[in-house]
A and B are shown apart, each in its own frame.
Chain A
Amino acid sequence: MRNVVFGYGISRPRAIDMDNNDLRKSRDIIAEMPELQACIGCGSCTASCTAGNLTDFNFRKLHTAVRRGEYKGVYAELSKCMLCGKCRLVCPRGINTRGLVMLIKRKLGDF
């Protein structure tokens, strides 16, 4: 291997490789809160979020990432949640989103 510099590299794909992602924690979370599978990704949780009002905190993005097995940085990001529970009030699928925040943090630990 010569590490030749050609003036460009190999662009890494943005596709999510579900075959290679470790889904064990994701499956644990869904096993404890199966109603999460009813999520339609409408984003009402994010739209009503107090923490996300003036920041880029995005709960829909975070729980979607967790379900895909992409855990990096999620714990630290979720620490911004103030657990106000507005998201729970607006969720059209009745998902206990505040409980989900706690569940994800508990399952992931300081990932």
Chain B
Amino acid sequence: MSRRASWQEYQKDIAADRYYYARSCIRQNFFPGSEWAFLDILSNRLGIDIYDDPLHTSCTGIGYHSDVVPLETIMTVVARQFSLMAEAGYENFVSSCITSFGIYNEVLATWEEFPETEERTRRYLREATGRELVKPRSIAHTSDIIFYQREAIARKAKHRLINRHTGEPLRVVEHIGCHYAKIFPKSGIGGSEFPYVLAGMIEAWGGDVVDYPERRHCCGFGFRNYLVQANRGSSIANSHKKLESMAPYKPDFIVANCPGCAMFLDKWQYTIAEMDGMAYGADGKGIPVLTYEEMAGLVLGYDPWQLGMQFHQVDVEPLLDKLGVEYDPGAKYLGADGKYIGKPADAAINCPSQRPIYERRK
């Protein structure tokens, strides 16, 4: 196979309009502003038809990967989501979660390879809900859609990923969720070896992508690795390995396209700082971790507190200052109705007394 033909295998057809949106369990809890921002950017900024269906449920992927939800059950749940999409009059399924995205691809591949499982699932769905399974025409992850629209977003950009103090591009670490393309390499833009989905956004919006040794290492979430407390030492060790590897490149922020990765790369920084006094940012604090919608939202000029960035463990204000984003510090802990929602206790990771890792090594 020629080089060009092999590269074409890594491309992915993404529908241009009319999406059915499937939400993420983790993101609704930890990054609710990101899901809102995705819908708002598509509907109100780009004029794209996307349907947010209140009827759909969790894909049960967390239970499936933790061995508490059987394969037959998850296939029936997935079949129900697809039938809801067809009932709503849509064909292009968009998943907000990387785990769900992997699940939908896995279930479709299972049905393809083992048609008897599809027949069984159709029967279960009919018996349980009276619905008929209609398979989607296309499946995409929400980061695929933002990637697809990256030039349109760049044209509407209010801020670019440039450090306004130095005029230099911001150094961005991009982290791709394992279930995006490591399970089915052809399901992701660039496959599992050269995932370009986030790098494409960063480049389109003016930033520099950091290429560091552990770039493709897992964040360590891994479901059972985290859910069982005794295993968490293994989970945190993965994030620790990545943070140690990226710190010498002095990244300005991390962006991830997986709910679990964004959560763990952010919250494990807090844990490591509390345990060992380590911080990995150049300023002696943590490295802010963003979702791609938060990155797109900042580029488009959204208010960071409307994007839900006060939910982050690592404070994002140093990054906002670099970007030149205007924000009201007093509004950080005010809810949508203007009421005070409470302020978390101070954390070592946001304390400037932490020494950056590369200074400690001298």
Chain A residues packing against B (C-beta within 8 Å) = 1-4, 6-13
* 19 A-B pairs whose Cβ atoms sit less than 8 Å apart in the complex: A1-B273, A1-B274, A1-B276, A1-B277, A1-B348, A2-B274, A4-B274, A4-B275, A6-B232, A6-B274, A6-B275, A8-B229, A8-B232, A8-B233, A9-B275, A10-B276, A11-B236, A11-B237, A13-B241
Could you tell me if A10 and B236 are in contact, using CB atoms closer than 8 angstroms? Answer: yes
Complex contacts, A9 vs chain B, CB 8 Å: 233, 275
Known: A1-B274, A8-B232. 15 other contacts (CB 8 A): A1-B273, A1-B277, A1-B348, A3-B274, A3-B275, A6-B271, A6-B275, A7-B232, A8-B229, A8-B231, A8-B236, A9-B275, A10-B233, A11-B233, A13-B241
Nearest 6 CB-CB pairings of A with B: A1-B277, A11-B233, A11-B237, A4-B274, A8-B232, A8-B233
Q: Determine chain B's interface SS by DSSP, over half rule.
A: helix
Given A1-B277, A1-B348: A7 and B237 within 8 A (CB)?
A: no
Name B230's contact: one of A8, A10, A12 (CB within 8 Å).
A8
> Once the chains are docked, how many angstroms separate the CA of A1 from the CA of B276?
7
> Once the chains are docked, how many angstroms separate the CA of A6 from the CA of B354?
20
B210-269 with Cβ < 8 A to chain A: 229-234, 236-237, 240-241
Could you tell me if B348 and A10 are in contact, using CB atoms closer than 8 angstroms? Answer: no
> Once the chains are docked, how many angstroms separate the CA of A4 from the CA of B230?
16
Could you tell me if B275 and A7 are in contact, using CB atoms closer than 8 angstroms? Answer: no
B357, CB-defined interface residue at 8 Å = no
Q: Determine chain A's interface SS by DSSP, over half rule.
A: loop
The minimal Cβ–Cβ distance linking A13 to chain B, given in whole angstroms, is: 6
Complex contacts, A11 vs chain B, CB 8 Å: 233-234, 236-237
Complex contacts, B272 vs chain A, CB 8 Å: 10
The minimal Cβ–Cβ distance linking B346 to chain A, given in whole angstroms, is: 10
Complex contacts, A6 vs chain B, CB 8 Å: 232, 271, 274-275
Interface centre among A4, A7, A9, A11 (most CB of B within 10 A): A11
The minimal Cβ–Cβ distance linking A5 to chain B, given in whole angstroms, is: 8
Complex contacts, A4 vs chain B, CB 8 Å: 274-275
> Once the chains are docked, how many angstroms separate the CA of A13 from the CA of B231?
14
Complex contacts, A1 vs chain B, CB 8 Å: 273-274, 276-277, 348, 354
> Once the chains are docked, how many angstroms separate the CA of A12 from the CA of B238?
10
> Once the chains are docked, how many angstroms separate the CA of A8 from the CA of B227?
12
Complex contacts, A7 vs chain B, CB 8 Å: 229, 232
> Once the chains are docked, how many angstroms separate the CA of A1 from the CA of B236?
18
> Once the chains are docked, how many angstroms separate the CA of A3 from the CA of B229?
18
Complex contacts, B277 vs chain A, CB 8 Å: 1
> Once the chains are docked, how many angstroms separate the CA of A7 from the CA of B348?
18
